[in-house]
Structure 1
Amino acid sequence: IVIDNSVLKISKIHLWKVVSFLSVFDLSEKMSNQIRLRLLPSTRCLFDEPVQLKVAGLRSRQVVTIKATSTDEREVVFGSSATYRADDGGEVDLNRDPSLNGSYVGVQPMGLLQSLKADTLHKYFFKNKALKPHVVKFSVHEQEADGRILAEETNERFLMGDGVSRDPIKEGNIRGVLFTPPEGPFPAVLDLGTFMSEKRACLLANKGFLVLTIAVFSDRQNMKEIHLDPFKEAVDFLRHHPKVGPVGVGIISRSKGTDIALSLAAFVPGVEALVWINGTSASVGTPLYYKKQQILSPLMFDFSKVITTKSGANLIKYATDDPLEEKNKGSLVPIERAKSQFLFVAAEDDLNWDSKDYMDEMVERLKRCGKENFETVFYPGAGHLLEPPYGPFCSSALHGMLSFSVVWGGEPRAHAAAEIHLWKKIQEFFRTHLRHTGCLHTH
């Protein structure tokens, strides 16, 4: 061995140890350099698009752990992991191969994204702003020893597609964000969230809809009463927008937003199609006013019926009063007055309230009135927070209206499948009922 032009004499045993160390080190470095983690078809995609994760260059039948990490808008770190065994050719394909253990088991191609969790309980992954992508870092790790990284790749999941514009709207009483696809005209959709979120609205705009998103509550202090008038302004804003076709406006809502959506369909002209997701048939928690008069009384909560679970989150499904009791019938939204088409969506394991029961009650009421302007979708195993697909599943989190943590329900795999199916169903429903000859954009 030559060091600084000097010859160093060592024994044969020491020489063998040095050579062995160098050869093993070189082999391991070569191996790790040859290992590749690929995201197909690209490392950049839209939030609601799947990617295929493939690992190549492993040893035959090698066991590795694949991890995902992402930080939400509140700087909370979420992570997931799953263990895989390579095939005889040293490859792992998440579209084909089952996870042996970890955050999930079995074949779940997007399981690493859908099972992202924070270290602390009851955390919802906040990704509500459209301008920044959802960034996920994937890495492949040695199963043995120190679990060193063999390969890594970053997935940028954009909420806004090419050509879609984002415009904050402050007009009259409207406070929201408008997403407009290129060209036009387009069918118009009002996205009603309990609190402000841009995610679903801009993802719908990518599909060829002009979408205005507004919140039922602008902040957590203004919850004593709700006036329908500002929401009517939003409907009228969309109806008269120069890039909107003549058919009318669609509305999409979930949870507390559903009773406002139903009320718009019942009391305001121009609502053509309405998607109701895991909601109620009555004005829950707050009285509703329109043109300075109360039109619906509040359906209240009985907090003695709240059940605290082992995790510390509360089960509130049975705490809402029955809207069919005589004393509560003034809270029911008179949807039989509505001329719009309805898509009612209920999840079997919604633990926020009994969405299936509310849906059945509305369907029965419409049938009694001779109405056929509705269709229903029921998802076994899904929970309350049905959202656009491929986001992290959330089983419990802080309730925005009640200010304590609640369980939302849902079995992760069934819930993820429901989100994929529902997202396509929503687009088909709006295209069918908001269609006109000018709206030919089906992105």
Structure 2
Amino acid sequence: MLKAHSSVTALLRYTGISIPDKVATCRNITCMQHLFGAVRWRSKFTAAPLLTAQPARALIDEQIAIQGRFLPPHWPVTVRAHMHSEEGDLWEAFSHYKTNENGVVNLTTDHSVGGSYVGCEPMGLFWALQPAPSAREGLRLRKKDVETPYVVQLSLWEGHVSSSKRPIEDEQTAGRLAASTVERWYMTPHTRRVEIRQNGIVGTLFLPSGPGPFPAMVDLWGMGGGLNEYRSALFASKGIASLSLAYFGHKDIPGPLDELNVGDDYFRSAYNLLQDHPEVCGERIGLIGLSYGVYLVLRMATHIGVKPMCVIGINGPLGSYDKFPGIKSGDVVNYQMLDEHGNFSLRHFTMPSMIPKENQIKFEMLECPLLCIVGEDDYNCASMETANEIEEILRAAGKAQLFTRLSYPGAGHLIEPPYSPNARVSLWTVKPKKINAIWGGHPAPHAAAQEDAWKKMLDFIEYNLRK
């Protein structure tokens, strides 16, 4: 300690700092560490455990680097993620690790040995989120207010724990070592959200920051109805204007909520509205649809006189099957669209052989590239059979070069932006009776499919709308 004292005193004299002898000779020289990083000394104190997550604020498709430090070496620890949905339901995920010889756990490089997933999955705590045991049944996590983030709490725990083994919702429970918070956004700060209620069109337009005109997408979802904005918001955050378009089950569209009350004129008007927008490059517009939205965007591209530059279809049918749309909630049971477990499924009804020829898309009329994304574990739509049929039709028409397929084993129906939790089964309707829809998909391969498909979708859009 005398040696340390003489070194500090000499350093103070060299820098010209005047300090009383009694301070210079003090055994506690912690303040010197702040002033002079090169000063080292032994201490009986160790740093408290630390959990870091960087960046703490990011878009939903960006990776977060999570690391725990200042822990005992070769020590079992749990990293937990939890958040509350906009409806107030608790979602959580757990991963189990052992620290390395330096007392560090790094989720980017280390393998989880248990919990909600196993293996090296840097974003596993996000895509593995599931409703807590106390939450309601049949939940699906979907962002409604895209102008606010998901706020995810991360925490570091001693030992390997999970909600099924011991309750840890109380953050004061013994064993919690450190915590951190991250924000997950669908919109960058200067992305603009514009509600559209014009000429009967119901939608939301998202515009990137900066000067336009921008390439653009028309974004359609499935027969779940309503207005889903989060994919469009993320497109705009990547520099692509996007119109999220409602067509079914929305209060601002005239007619019964449980019936499809719009036709070709509605979709043509929506396309033209986007094409004529002063901040959109009218010659560089693409279409994207999921589920029944696939049929609609393919119909737009081939039957109603608009000329998109590209189309993306995610797990959808090649035509409209009899008695649907126009199906009412009570008709689900009548049409026997339930599987052996009582879950709603349209897989059988979307087989190409089940769709009358007069209701099928005339793919020989397609003039733009089509990216077909298939979840091979899709339990709600005959996606693989549909992709096979489309490819065969285009090949016979001499247009095979327009077709690209991305096919993912273990992925289900709901292939969404990266790191979104998959719901294999979720609530479909409560009237006249409670019925769940089965979507399919296994957590890890479905998450891998979402990550890969999103990157390739963006590449596809960039190539076809900016070339």
Aligned 1:34-73 pairs, distance under 5 A:
34-40=48-54, 42-73=55-86
Q: Kindly tell me: are residues 225 and 180 of structure 1, through their superposed partners in 2, closer, same or farther at Cα, counting changes over 3 Å?
A: closer
**What's the CA shift for 1:303?**
4.2
Q: Kindly tell me: are residues 55 and 174 of structure 1, through their superposed partners in 2, closer, same or farther at Cα, counting changes over 3 Å?
A: same
Are 1:259 and 2:295 counterparts? Answer: yes
Distance 1:115 1:160 in 2: 22
Aligned to 1:307: 339
Distance 1:86 1:376 in 2: 41
TM norm structure 1: 0.82
Aligned to 2:319: 282
Aligned to 2:438: 407
Are 1:109 and 2:122 counterparts? Answer: yes
Distance 1:398 1:124 in 2: 8
Q: Kindly tell me: are residues 284 and 130 of structure 1, through their superposed partners in 2, closer, same or farther at Cα, counting changes over 3 Å?
A: farther
**In the alignment, which of 153, 158, 163 is matched to residue 142 of structure 1?**
158
Q: Which has the higher strand share?
A: 1
Does structure 2 conserve the Cα–Cα contact (< 8 Å) formed by 1:259 and 1:284? no
Distance 1:274 1:317 in 2: 23
Give the match's secondary structure for 1:271. Answer: coil
Are 1:206 and 2:241 counterparts? Answer: no
Q: Kindly tell me: are residues 198 and 400 of structure 1, through their superposed partners in 2, closer, same or farther at Cα, counting changes over 3 Å?
A: farther
Aligned 1:1-400 pairs, distance under 5 A:
34-40=48-54, 42-118=55-131, 119=133, 120-143=136-159, 147-181=174-208, 182-194=210-222, 195=225, 196-219=227-250, 221-268=257-304, 269-284=306-321, 303-304=335-336, 306-309=338-341, 314=343, 316=345, 318-320=347-349, 322-324=351-353, 328-372=356-400, 373-399=402-428
Note the alpha carbon deviations across 1:136-165, whole angstroms, 9 max, x for none: 000111228964311001110111113211
Aligned to 1:12: none
**What's the CA shift for 1:317?**
5.2
The number of aligned residues is 392
Distance 1:126 1:179 in 2: 18
Q: Kindly tell me: are residues 286 and 207 of structure 1, through their superposed partners in 2, closer, same or farther at Cα, counting changes over 3 Å?
A: farther
Q: Higher relative contact order by CA 8 Å / sep ≥ 6: 1 or 2?
A: 1
Q: Where does structure 1 lack aligned partners over 5 or more consecutive residues?
A: 1-29, 290-299, 437-443
Does structure 2 conserve the Cα–Cα contact (< 8 Å) formed by 1:65 and 1:142? yes
Does structure 1 conserve the Cα–Cα contact (< 8 Å) formed by 2:60 and 2:419? yes
Does structure 2 conserve the Cα–Cα contact (< 8 Å) formed by 1:276 and 1:342? yes
Distance 2:85 2:396 in 1: 47
**What's the CA shift for 1:225?**
4.8
Q: Kindly tell me: are residues 174 and 358 of structure 1, through their superposed partners in 2, closer, same or farther at Cα, counting changes over 3 Å?
A: same
**What's the CA shift for 1:282?**
0.8
Give the match's secondary structure for 1:161. Answer: coil
Q: Kindly tell me: are residues 340 and 401 of structure 1, through their superposed partners in 2, closer, same or farther at Cα, counting changes over 3 Å?
A: farther
Q: Where does structure 2 lack aligned partners over 5 or more consecutive residues?
A: 1-44, 161-165, 167-172, 251-255, 327-331
Q: Kindly tell me: are residues 321 and 168 of structure 1, through their superposed partners in 2, closer, same or farther at Cα, counting changes over 3 Å?
A: closer
Distance 2:58 2:175 in 1: 28
Are 1:425 and 2:456 counterparts? Answer: yes
TM norm structure 2: 0.78
